[in-house]
Amino acid sequence: MSMRNNYLVGVMLWVLPLIALAANDVSAASKPNIIVVMADDMGWGDSATYGHQTIKTPNLDKLAAQGVKFTQGYSAAGVCSPARSAILTGRTPYRNGVWRHLSGSHKAHLRASEITYPTLFKQAGYTTGHFGKWHLLSKQQFHKEGYPHPDDHGFDYWFATQNNAVPSHKNPNNFIRNHQPVGELKGYSAPLVADEAIKWIEQGRDASKPFIMSVWFHEPHKPIATDIKFSELYPNENAVNKKYFGNITQMDFALGKIMDVLDEQNLSDNTLIMFLSDNGPVVGVGGNSGGLRGQKRNDFEGGIRVPFVVRWPSHIDAGSVNDTPIIGSDIFSTVLAVGGIAAPSDRKIDGVNFLPALEGKELNRSTPLFWRTHVSPAEDRVAMRIGDWKIVGNDTLTEFMLFNVQEDWQEKNNLATKMPEKLNTMKAKLIETWEDIKTDGPNQWWENETNPPRKGATLNY
């Protein structure tokens, strides 16, 4: 029996009990469509929607004007792969096993034993598609059979790269479509991804079923390449900003193409769209954290607070703004609630359905908002937020900072020495939460492995 067949047999052992979720027939007319759109390394301040005075993002602006803008939306990690794994599983990264970014040949990956929302939606009668970056396998694993690829995690159709667009956003040559290499494509990554997604919406999907899809853009992750028609929108900027600002607009243009086809196909009113970034920006190449402390790879706000916009006509008040803290892992529970699908009961789900927050209701979390980013500097390797309060700990969990981030959103005022009782309460909960998470995940993948940031190195993830 082949490695792939062995893998499929193993998957069926946990899939079969879930098939009962598809007992009720669904139709495209009765169930909402769902699209999760994600930018790569886009900062909280990298759009007009979130206050940038120069960058043009008319389509994200439109999405927010037609839905809700969350001002305290978070990624589940300060780097890419872990944040993506949490979205699909509802489980914090160290619990689901994708504890680090996945590059050349690392053994970590999104395991077959993890249950993703596309799998559950597929069993419930949806058709499913993934378009763009994947980054939930190492490069070596992505080009081998026997490891779980997007179709093994519930996607009927997929068009993806393992990590970044290569050699850049221009004319990428590393896309795989349903296990088949595509070869060099002419154009720029985000519009190419959008075009593939649109083709699937218009022609490729089973139109008798509702659909759920991921559109995970590569922009503005480096190596950046920007169509001149977008960089020329910023004639008064230096070369770095022209390229970066234009790259954001290039991605926004691709988002607009998808929004337009939903209108043309009369799908907009019955489609929930979520837009967010996988983590914070790289400031040195033009990224903007909007005044937050830190950037990508930090567990300070600049590394984890991201743009987070949701549109669902007739269900979400147009033009609303909400400051409830939500996190990427909440997407899992939220889309399941929207689809009327039960969550798995055999494992800990950390995310919650955030839609009640739109009605002013409190979100009841069994797991606090929690971050541990393996490449964060030692001083902010781990963080946790409960209510207005956030604790930030070092790599050995021996030194801590305390912030009221609702009031001190730039994390300028460390209250650890002024409020020792609050610090001790938060510290105890942080350690308890970490112990629960690390003993639940495949800790053999990270024990005795250290990955400190390399001073002066160029980190291409």
Alpha helices in 16-91 (DSSP H): 58-65, 80-89
User: CA 272: distance to chain centroid?
Assistant: 16
User: CA 368: distance to chain centroid?
Assistant: 18
Choose, from 101, 106, 135, 221, the residue flagged as catalytic: 135
| pLDDT score of 361 more than 50 | yes
- pLDDT tens figures, 289-324: 999 999 999 999 999 999 999 999 999 999 999 999
Average pLDDT over residues 416-426: 98
Phi and psi torsions of 69, nearest 5°: -105, 120
| pLDDT score of 450 more than 60 | no
- Show the tokens assigned to 105: 């040949």
Cβ–Cβ < 8 Å for 129, 190: no
| pLDDT score of 226 more than 90 | yes
User: What pLDDT is stored for residue 455 in this prediction?
Assistant: 39
What is each CA distance from 325 to 26, 328, 351, 387, 390, in whole angstroms?
Answer: 32, 11, 12, 8, 11
| pLDDT score of 365 more than 80 | yes
Calculate the CA dihedral of residues 17, 23, 28, 32 and round it to 10 degrees.
Answer: -60
What domains, with CATH codes, occur in the chain?
A: 33-359 (3.40.720.10), 377-441 (3.30.1120.10)
Alpha helices in 114-172 (DSSP H): 117-123, 139-142
Backbone angle region of 291, left / alpha / beta, with phi > 0 → left and psi within -120 to 50 → alpha: left
Calculate the CA dihedral of residues 401, 403, 408, 410 and round it to 10 degrees.
Answer: 40
User: CA 373: distance to chain centroid?
Assistant: 15
Rg, C-alpha atoms of the chain? 21
Tell the residue number behind the tokens 């490069």, with chain if given.
139
Q: Which residue has the higher pLDDT, 3 or 176?
A: 176
pTM metric for this prediction: 0.91
Q: Say how many residues make up the chain.
A: 461
| pLDDT score of 15 more than 80 | no
User: What pLDDT is stored for residue 3 in this prediction?
Assistant: 38
101 is an active site residue: no
User: What pLDDT is stored for residue 29 in this prediction?
Assistant: 63
Choose, from 80, 149, 218, 221, the residue flagged as catalytic: 80
Average pLDDT over residues 107-129: 96
153 is an active site residue: no
Which of 101-105, 190-194, 250-254, 416-420 is the least confident region? 101-105
- pLDDT tens figures, 270-290: 999 999 999 999 998 999 999
Mean pLDDT of the chain: 91
